[in-house]
Structure 1
Amino acid sequence: MKVTIDSFGTTPSGEIVERYILDNDRGITVELITFGATIMKISTPDCGGNIGDITIGFDTLEEYLTKNHHFGSIVGRYANRIEHASFKLGGTTYHLDQNNGKNHIHGGSHGFDKYVWSAHVVEGKESASVIMQHISPDGDMGFPGTLSVQVAYTLDRMDTLTIDYSAFTDAPTVLNLTNHTYFNLSGELGSDISDHVLTVHADDYIPIKENSIPTEEAPLPVEGSTMDLTMPTTIGDIIHKKEPQILYAGGLDHTYVLSKSHDNIVRLAAMLTHPVSGRSLSIATSEPGIQVYTANNLDNITTYRNNVHVPKHGAIAFEAQHFPNSPNRPDFPSTTLTPEHTYTQKTKYTFNKVITSCNVK
């Protein structure tokens, strides 16, 4: 296993941002930067052995500073939405940064994706890790308690990238962390993902209102609905349907229920395949839900890596997390963290080739 470290630039405040490149000597590389604890780039081989970039990102730190939409970053303190940007905990009402209309999303306008994290490397024969750390002060974006967060990215020789999260607080707070990497397995950024095939191993999902807040009756069974992805389904057959849940989001932007109680068991959540390239990605997580987002807000105007324009539905994100608005929904698995407990999460991305007959040259 190889780890390469270099400088990726300096922020306007003078903080040095480092880049770490993990290489498992099997054609898979993962590039990370300390700004936002971000997965900047993942490259994997197709069925013909050609190495391709399968994630969306930028070439420069300046672009991450000015054009970032959580591409590849750690999202916190609270991934997804909190209705009315407020919640009650221990008899006190906390008011958060309103950055999604009247609601709060992804930790606010200056969430974890906007900080430079500290980092160090742990190397072994079969794997290598980059461990990143950040301290969020009491009152950060309105959240109570000083929070210490650690995220370890580990690439191994079994072609798996594991993200291990841990956190502790000095006062009761709420916490919901995720990584927000956007994937396009074709290796041709700028194409859409309509030809990708998706399976989500969930019998229930969280329906949303027009403002993307969960409905009162959530969760609901996927059986008999457009949201049923329990069998392999071509993404293009879903995201253009004229039915309310798809129209509200402009595609998929929904949490699928993997467990109705947070049992912390790592289970297979989803699989994405691209039949043409033969690439496959499986996601397993200890989280009770996974948000599936088909990049409904990309505009085909912003330039990304290699000066590429990415269209709407040009990628897909799998955000392992708790359910949206959980601090205001006692019927959902709790996101409360107290000083007596440590937050932990494990999410695994495994890269495979699934096509036995390959037409790629």
Structure 2
Amino acid sequence: MNIRKEEFGKLEDGTVFAYSLENDHGVKVTCLDYGCTITKIITPDRNGKFENIVLGYDNLEGYLNNSAYFGSVVGRVAGRIGGAEFTLNGKTYSLEKNENGNHLHGGLKGFDKVIWDVETEEKADEVSVKFSYVSRDGEEGYPGNLKLNVTYTLNNNNELAIQYEGISDAATLLNVTNHSYFNLSGDLKRNILNHELTLKSDQYLELQENLLPTGEYADVEGTPFDFRQGRFIRTGAESEHSQNKLAGGGYDHPFVLNANRNEEIILKDEESGRQMVVETDEVGVVVYTSNQLTGEDAIYGVLPRKHLGICLETQGLPDAVHHANFPSWVLEKDKPFTSVTTFKFGVV
């Protein structure tokens, strides 16, 4: 087990470093102190060939020039807040409008666009990087001074755990996630249409034209949103279902999980043999199949295109602050927040 630190680039307010965590089996996770951004995850296929399974860039400029949130931690609130405002304890707060009059992924300068403080730890059977950041009262419009820790831990069971810990000196909102785009083919050799996804979920959230939830829970039964027995991403991308078409040909939908810490999310790529099992204590997962992915900056030598990656964003349900029937993301004053999502990499 080891951690390697090296310079990745420079910003006006500091130097950005990359931290590479590697276990005794050769599995490697590289992340930046800029946005807690995961740039690479190197895992073997069924033949033992090690390749990268996430989307990212070779240089800092790629992350600065593009807004796809590759591998970053997003917040204070992941997803959209309708109208970029909310009311908390009788006071209305206005947030930065950074997507069609709404607030997306923490605003213009969310957690993905700042340099975090870093501590590293090496043990016999695991290595970890702990990122820390203080989001000041009023930042992007949110109340309260919020201290957040994000810890990435890689162990010898080929598991990557992401732990979030937060506390605020005033009531605020908090709903964070990691926005990695996965492609288990290895080094982006193929798109993700033949990836098979299994979810322990009986319901998903219907979306409006602006991709905000309508507030209605929809049953997956008999639809392209039924992943309970496994389903290829292709079936949704090619579906005529109104919700798949609304999302741009695929998925950009929140699913309500009916199990936690029990192999509730499984992604497989039959051709490479790679499998990733995701376990979380969050209530939901947003499945996004990169339906809107475009641009001219190459992603490790591959031009951006639709369906090149899949995001599995474990989190609270989007726009919950406007829907009383969704679990709340309100973080009360001085009340600790903690959440853990674990990714286990293997082959089948």
Q: TM-score range by the shorter chain?
A: over 0.9
Q: Deviation of residue 190 (structure 1)?
A: 5.5
Aligned to 1:178: 177
**Alignment match, 1:318:** 312
Deviation at 1:213, TM superposition (A): 1.0
What is the CA distance between 1:107 and its match in structure 2? 0.3
Q: Which amino acid aligns with 1:4?
A: R
Q: Which residue of 2 aligns with 1:228?
A: 226
Where has structure 1 moved over 6 Å in runs of 4 or more?
Answer: none
> What does residue 10 of structure 1 align with?
10
Aligned twin of 1:64: 63
Alignment of 1:352 with 2:337, yes or no, is no
Question: How far apart are 1:259 and its partner, in Å?
Answer: 4.9
Q: CA deviation at 1:253?
A: 0.5
Residue identity in the other structure for 2:261: V
For each residue in 1:64-95, what CA deviation from the matched residue of structure 2 results, as whole angstroms up to 9, or x when unmatched? 11224210000001000111111110000111
1:100 corresponding residue in structure 2: 99
Q: Specify the SS of the correspondent of 1:84.
A: helix
User: Deviations along 1:120-167, whole A, 9 cap, x unmatched?
Assistant: 101111101000001111111111111100000000000000000000
* 2:150 matched residue in structure 1: 151
Is the CA contact (8 Å cut-off) linking 1:190 and 1:310 kept in structure 2? no
Specify the SS of the correspondent of 1:135. strand
Are the aligned partners of 2:170 and 2:334 in contact in 1 as well (CA < 8 Å)?
A: no
Q: In 2, are the aligned partners of 1:191 and 1:311 still within 8 Å (CA)?
A: no
Mapped partners of 1:146, 1:33: distance in 2: 24
Give the C-alpha shift of residue 310 in structure 1.
2.9
CA distance in 2, matches of 1:118, 1:65: 19
Deviations along 1:239-294, one digit per CA (max 9) or x if unpaired, are: 1211210011111000110159xxxx534331110001100011110100000000
Of residues 316, 331, 342, the one that matches 2:336 is 342
Aligned partners of 1:271 and 1:230: how far apart in 2?
10
Offset, 1:191? 2.5
Equivalent residue for 1:35?
Answer: 34
Partner of 1:297: 292
Residue equivalent to 1:282: 277
SS in 1 for 2:30: strand
Question: How far did 1:8 drift?
Answer: 1.1
Conservation of the 8 A alpha-carbon contact between 1:269 and 1:290: no
Provide the TM-score with structure 1 as the length reference: 0.94
Corresponding residue number in structure 1 for 2:217: 219
1:328 lines up with 2:322 in the alignment: yes
Residue 244 of structure 2 is aligned with which of 243, 246, 251? 246
Aligned to 2:203: 204
> Residue 303 of structure 1: SS of its match in structure 2?
coil
Amino acid in the other structure paired with 2:167 = F
Identity %: 39
| Alpha-carbon offset, residue 315 of structure 1 | 0.6
Q: Which residue of 2 aligns with 1:357?
A: none
Q: In structure 1, what is the Cα distance between the partners aligned to 2:297 and 2:62?
A: 10
- Residue 268 of structure 1 aligns to a residue whose secondary structure is coil
* SS at structure 1 position matched to 2:112: helix
Distance in 2, Cα, partners of 1:29 & 1:288 = 28
Counterpart code for 2:197: L
TM-score when normalising by structure 2 = 0.97
Task: Tell me, in whole angstroms, the C-alpha distance in 1 between the residues paired with 2:258 and 2:193.
Answer: 28
2:266 is aligned, of 271, 276, 294, to: 271
Structure 1 residues 137 and 223: CA distance shift in structure 2, 3 A: same
Letter in 1 for 2:282: E
Shift of 1:103: 1.1
Structure 1 unmatched ranges of 5 or more? 355-361
Which has the larger displacement, 51-60 or 226-235? 226-235
- Measure, in 2, the Cα distance between the counterparts of 1:91 and 1:293: 34
In 2: Cα distance, 1:118 partner to 1:71 partner: 20
- Maintained 8 Å contact 2:117/2:132: yes
CA contact (8 A) 2:62 2:297 kept: no
| Two-structure CA RMSD over aligned residues (Å) | 1.3
Mapped to 2, the partners of 1:14 and 1:115 lie a distance apart of 9
Change (3 A) 1:100 1:259: farther
- 1:131 is paired with a residue whose SS is strand
* 2: CA distance, partners of 1:79 / 1:177: 5
Q: Distance in 1 between matches of 2:262 and 2:176?
A: 18
1:315-335 C-alpha deviation (Å, 9 max, x unpaired): 101000000111111211110
Question: Runs of 5+ in structure 2 lacking a partner?
Answer: none
Distance in 2, Cα, partners of 1:301 & 1:187? 21
Asked if structure 2 preserves the Cα contact closer than 8 Å seen for 1:163 and 1:347, the reply is yes
Residue 56 of structure 1, CA deviation? 0.4
